[in-house]
Structure formats: C-alpha cells, structure tokens
C-alpha cells in the first residue's frame, strides 16, 4: 500500500514535471549565456558616456575647489 502511494506521484513527476523543468532550465541557461542584446548594449554605451562626462565634471569641480578653498579635502 505504501509503495503504490509513493510510486504514482513519482511516475507523474518523472513523466511530466522533470522533462518540463529540464527544458525550461536549459532554455533559460542558453538565453542568459547569449550576452547583451543590442538594446542593452546601447544602454550600456550611453551609461559609459554619461559616466565619462560626470568624471570630467568632477575633475573640473575639484580643480575649482583646490584653487578657491585649498583645505576643502580636510573638512
């Protein structure tokens, strides 16, 4: 009696759930391994350009502060 109770769900799992789970698992692995999409790559390039502009602005602001308030870094 106990064996039949366990074997039916096990058979259902092995026939239906396990193959579906494996298919979905490897499909998502393959999709994540493809890398960035074109849109994601463009967004990344935009963010890099913005970061470079911000870095230039920070350097400029630090030069201005160094000239006008030389002790600003110690505060």
pLDDT at residue 14 is higher than 70? yes
Q: pTM of the full predicted structure?
A: 0.50
pLDDT in tens, 15-68: 888 889 899 998 888 877 777 778 888 999 999 999 999 999 999 999 999 999
Annotated domain spans of the chain? 1-34, 36-74
* CA angle (38 as vertex; 32, 39 as ends), nearest 5: 95
Residue 5 pLDDT class (50, 70, 90 cuts):
low
Residue 9 has a pLDDT of 78
Give the DSSP H/E element, type plus range, for residue 58: helix 38-68
Distance between CA atoms of 24 and 31, rounded to whole angstroms?
A: 11
Task: Return the percent helix, strand and coil in the chain, to nearest 5.
Answer: 85, 0, 15
């Amino acid at each position: 009696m106990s064996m039949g109770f366990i074997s039916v769900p096990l058979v259902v799992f092995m026939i239906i759930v396990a193959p579906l789970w494996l298919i979905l698992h490897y499909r998502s692995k393959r999709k994540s391994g493809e890398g960035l999409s074109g849109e994601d790559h463009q967004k990344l390039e935009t963010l890099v350009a913005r970061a470079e502009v911000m870095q230039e602005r920070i350097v400029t602001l630090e030069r201005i502060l160094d000239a006008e308030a030389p002790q600003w870094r110690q505060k």
